[in-house]
Amino acid sequence: MAPPCPIAGLQRQCPAGQSRAVRNQGRVRGQPIDYAGLGLDLGGALVGLDGVDDVALLHALAIAEHLGGIIVNADALQIYGGWRILTARPSREEENRAPHALYGHVANHESYSVGDWLRDISPILFGDKRPIIVGGTGLYLRALTEGLADIPPIPAAIRTQSSELLSQGGLKPMLDALDAETRAQIDVQNPMRVARAWEVLQATGQSIRSWQACTPPPLLPLEACHALHLTSPVDWLNDRLKRRFDIMIAEGALEEARGNLEFWDSKWQSSQAIGAPELIAHLQGQFTLDEAKTRAVTASSQFAKRQRTWFRKRMVAWQTVAAEQL
């Protein structure tokens, strides 16, 4: 028997992903949620949520507990096992309240692509539990609901060259190699996106945009799920970003970073977790903890702004829900 229609949740990664203490502020515990008032028939899958992973996860848990389902991660950094606190993964207590999937299942040193994520989520979509997909990686959610180009694997030598270029000269050499159409379509401030476009061009001789023009049907079309774009007021979010780092430190983020220090490599995808480079640099004596906090808050604010713009432009077909209404 087919599972109920999927529920996909699109939340922001860590900028909106404050620690538990911030997440739960302002929430009236036990207050019933009028999902019917949002026009949702929760007999099916749910996809959605931008910017407020605290609200996203709380409601995903509520749906899973009361209506059944499995909460599936769609965040490109919450997949890594070494950064539970800094990536705002669900706590162990939350994971015990309902089934969860694709959280912390990848080692820090491993690369993981959107194609890997689609392969991992496919059996879950066709399993016997309602998928409640929650995460802030827009590329994952677009690939899930709009399809993903079948780009050949990138040779290891090109990935190595890509990492070396990033570490030596930043993004400019890669951006200079890309065509204008590709530069206009990707987030040129995101090293992972720029590197991916450059690697595809080097490996195949074709731009990533030309591959995307031949995209097969999606695993989960928008019409087959409830796609929610959860928004939050900018001031509300920025206020929490300012307090985010102190609370994460109190929850053990510095100890988490210390546990990753011995094998730290800034070129790994997992090292993109906001707050990780800053805490590692502090532990290496490069600057104080207060300086690490300032840098992390700045990085969070910049990321949140880019992500907000990205979702607004590309998730126009999703149902927008204000977080304060929930």
Per-residue pLDDT tens over the stretch 12-29? 333 333 323 223 333 333
Instruction: Provide the pLDDT for residue 32.
Output: 45
**Mean pLDDT, rounded, of the chain:** 82
Task: Based on the fold, state whether residues 99 and 235 are members of the same structural domain.
Answer: yes
- Domain hosting residue 78, numbered range: 1-148+220-326
184 with 287, same domain?
no
Q: Are residues 36 and 119 in the same domain?
A: yes
Alpha carbon 195 to chain centroid distance? 18
Residues 93, 197, single domain; the answer is no
Confidence band for 44, pLDDT divided at 50, 70 and 90: low
- Pair type for strands 46-48 and 70-73: unpaired
Mean pLDDT throughout 27-54?
49
Last residue of a domain, one of 196, 212, 228: 212
Determine the Cα–Cα distance for residues 280 and 244; give it in Å rounded to an integer.
17
Kindly state the average pLDDT of the residues 292-304. 91
Lowest mean pLDDT among 11-15, 45-49, 139-143, 248-252: 11-15
Q: For residue 326, what pLDDT is reported?
A: 60
The pLDDT confidence band at residue 323, using thresholds 50, 70 and 90, is: low
Give the tens place of pLDDT for each residue, 206-222.
999 899 888 889 999 98
| Residues 168, 126 share a domain | no
Each residue's pLDDT tens digit, 53-103: 566 777 788 888 888 889 999 999 999 999 999 998 999 999 999 999 999
Q: Which of 176, 194, 212 is the last residue of a domain?
A: 212
Per residue in 221-267, pLDDT (tens digit) is 988 888 888 787 888 878 877 887 888 999 999 999 999 999 999 98
Residue 101's DSSP bridge partners are 72
Clarify whether residues 39 and 140 are in a common domain: yes
Same domain, 195 and 296: no
CATH number, position 188: 1.10.20
172 shares a domain with 259: no
Calpha distance 104→207 (Å, rounded)? 32
47, β-bridge pairs: 8, 227
pLDDT of amino acid 208: 92
Same domain, 190 and 257: no
User: How much is the average pLDDT of 262-278?
Assistant: 94
Q: pLDDT tens digits, residue range 110-133?
A: 989 899 999 999 999 989 898 999
Residue 153 has pLDDT above 90, yes or no: no
pLDDT given at position 265: 94
- Does residue 244 sit in the same domain as residue 285? yes
Residue 2 has pLDDT above 50, yes or no: no
In the three-class reduction of DSSP (H, G, I as helix; E, B as strand; rest coil), residue 164 is classed as helix
Measured in degrees and rounded to the nearest 5, phi and psi for residue 151 equal -80, 135
The last residue of one of the domains, among 168, 191, 212, is: 212
For residues 288 and 229, state if they share a domain. Answer: yes
How large a percentage of the chain has pLDDT more than 90?
A: 45
Which residue in 246, 227, 247 sits closest to 23, CA to CA? 247
Q: pTM for this structure?
A: 0.76
H/E stretch holding 185: helix 180-185
Count of domains forming the chain: 2
- CATH number for position 260: 3.40.50.300
Handedness of CA 282, 288, 290, 296 (dihedral sign): negative
Q: Are residues 7 and 127 in the same domain?
A: yes
